[in-house]
Amino acid sequence: MSTADPNAYQSLFRLDGRRALVIGVGGIGHAAAAALAAHGAEVVCADRDPATAKAAALAAGARASALELDVTDGDAVRRAADELGTVDVLVLTAAVNVRKRILDYSDDEFDRVVALNLKGTFAVLRAFGAGMVDRGRGSIVVFSSMRAHAVEPGQSVYAATKAGVIQLVRTAAAEFGPAGVRVNAIAPGVVETPLTAQIKNNPEWYEAYAAKSALGRWSQPAEMAGAVVYLASDAASFVTGAVLNVDGGWTAVDGRFTPPT
């Protein structure tokens, strides 16, 4: 975009003529898909649960479609990349967490979290990144977590995978960048989604998390949508390899105690 054309700023966030794929549309992805569609994109809503994918596509509007996709199945990811063809925007939110202390973790639980959060991210980056690199354009947005930066008991494997996701994103940004493909991460704080239902069902735990952020509350999935649209759009044309914290200030402040001043 040239600064010689002030009118171009009006369309910075528009995604008309672009095709977006959102993988994992049960929570944050549901809102992301609707927001991308609202900004003009054709949206494919993908989820391992076909009913979830269809519900997200229905909410996103007439130009949205549904796709059943399990990112832990590498062959299925490669087939989806081949069959979908041109994808201009890719958003990956799919993740799982098993909240247990290290000494209580089983090998199967470790493998399950790593298979989806880390290996699945790698599979998606490799399969869809290849097409974007060949076409010389594209934006990839992968959801990490504030747990990549700040941990607590019971978050070991989840936190490790989300930190690993950031390093995958940075490496992909370095490798895909010369072809014109941008790769960025979003690190949410506490968001009310099915993944955090266990916490919401415990009032003391829920309130403790709300008090930890600078804003003093949890976020809703829709509050992640603006960050997705920004990174997907030309508004972020020079942004790659970045981690955008959308955590209500959680990682910026020490919310354990407010001293008298």
Residue-level pLDDT, tens digit, the chain, 261 residues = 555 677 789 899 999 999 999 999 999 999 999 999 999 999 999 999 999 999 999 999 999 999 999 999 999 999 999 999 999 999 999 999 999 999 999 999 999 999 999 999 999 999 999 999 999 999 999 999 999 999 999 999 999 999 999 999 999 999 999 999 999 999 999 999 877 888 888 889 889 888 888 999 999 999 999 999 999 999 999 999 999 999 999 999 876 666 676
pTM: 0.94
**In the chain, what are the domains?**
15-246 (3.40.50.720)
pLDDT at residue number 2: 55
Known catalytic residue: 158?
Answer: yes
- Residue 65 pairs in a beta bridge with 44
Q: How far apart are CA 244 and CA 162, in angstroms?
A: 13
Catalytic member of 9, 105, 158, 230? 158
- Alpha-carbon distance of 220 to 260, in angstroms, equals 31
Burial group, residue 90, by CB count within 10 angstroms (0-12, 13-18, 19+): buried
Where do runs of H (alpha helix) occur along the chain?
28-38, 50-60, 74-84, 107-114, 120-135, 156-176, 197-200, 203-212, 222-232
Q: How many CA atoms lie within 13 A of 256 on its CB side?
A: 1
